[in-house]
Amino acid sequence: MALGCKYGSHRVTEPLGVLPQPALCLNNDMSQIYENEILVDVKALNIDSASFTQLEEATGGDLKKLEAEILGIVSRRGKMQNPVTGSGGMFIGTVAEVGSALADRDLKVGDRIASLVSLSLTPLKINKINSIRPEIDRVEIDGQAILFESGIYAKLPADIDEGLALAALDVAGAPAQAAKLVKPGQSVLILGAGGKSGILVAYEAMKRVGPTGRVVGNVYLPEDEIVLKKLKLCHEVIKEDASKPIVLLHKALAANLGNEYDVVINCVNVPNTEMSTILPCRQEGTVYFFSMATHFGKAALGAEGVGKDITMIIGNGFTKDHAEITLWELRENKNLRELFEEKYV
């Protein structure tokens, strides 16, 4: 078969001329791959947290309805992209075929890999959903997916269970970005610090701020507060609804000795938390919106409306070495690894 576009535009069926992520529909025919594609037998999907939360609420938590909704999305769109949130997730599986143009890659049939690009741009075919695990946003399937030439992936390590690797790599961009953004001596506020991404961000932030910095975590559930304190992942934890900006602002400032924060990182999975992220940040500070529930128009106009001159970073799920950074966190901290094994595997 011929070479396709390295970015996957050859798989777009509607509308023509766009890239796979914003496309309404992709060609998910797996019978023959292009010379610069990788075919993967998929075992499990980790649905983006914002997407899974929305789907679960829309179907009333009924697993049969949720299954039908997921199958319907993939059938209509040729990919797993939530039409409300626009987000996807990632998968783990086994390489079934490597296109001839990619023969020089360190990848062979039978390798177990995790995709590090979003399901929202990945051609996907689901033959059967075997189970849905809503507590960890996971869907076990029998299916296949295509990785494009530009697509990134990680070989699953031998020393980490594949379920654990899937859980961690699903949010690998967040702790790796925290590693880049947070400097010694800074104050850091993490919204949604009790979730998968928030916990890893908190761990990385604590390492980076050093003995003179301060990390404050915001959670909604009491049990998350207990976990963060037990594992010493924050200097202080505040329990508050992140969609209530003024209330959260006062609690956040009080937790930082009345001072605004150098860095604020948003890891929540619900909408309307933009201003709760922006308000506690100091002038010329940095805000990182990892959450795919973020409305970036609200963030931009909201910051303007309150006179905040801050750097706002969109939650790009990729940053250099993000897979290695995230897996290393699990290797170097026994308690963190045990927590992930208990909650997300």
d(CA 146, CA 37): 7
d(CA 136, CA 236): 26
pTM assigned to the model: 0.86
Which of 294, 342, 335 has its CA nearest to residue 317?
294
Going across the sheet that includes 37-47, the strands are 124-133, 138-148, 37-47, 89-98, 112-115, 153-155
What is the arithmetic mean of pLDDT over 37-41?
98
The C-alpha torsion from 305 through 311 and 312 to 317, rounded to 10°, is: 180
d(CA 148, CA 118): 12
Which of 97, 96, 146 has its CA nearest to residue 119?
146
Which tokens go with 164?
């654990």
d(CA 343, CA 31): 37
Per-domain residue ranges of the chain: 9-156, 173-344
pLDDT in tens, 115-173: 999 999 999 999 999 999 999 999 999 999 999 999 999 999 989 988 899 889 989 99
* The pLDDT of residue 1 is above 80: no
How much is the pLDDT for 89?
93
Over pLDDT 90: what percentage of the chain?
Answer: 90
Instruction: Indicate the length of the chain as a whole number.
Output: 345
| CA dist 197 → 79, 189, 194, 317 (Å) | 24, 14, 8, 11
d(CA 147, CA 39): 7
Q: Is the CATH number of domain 173-344 3.40.50.720?
A: yes
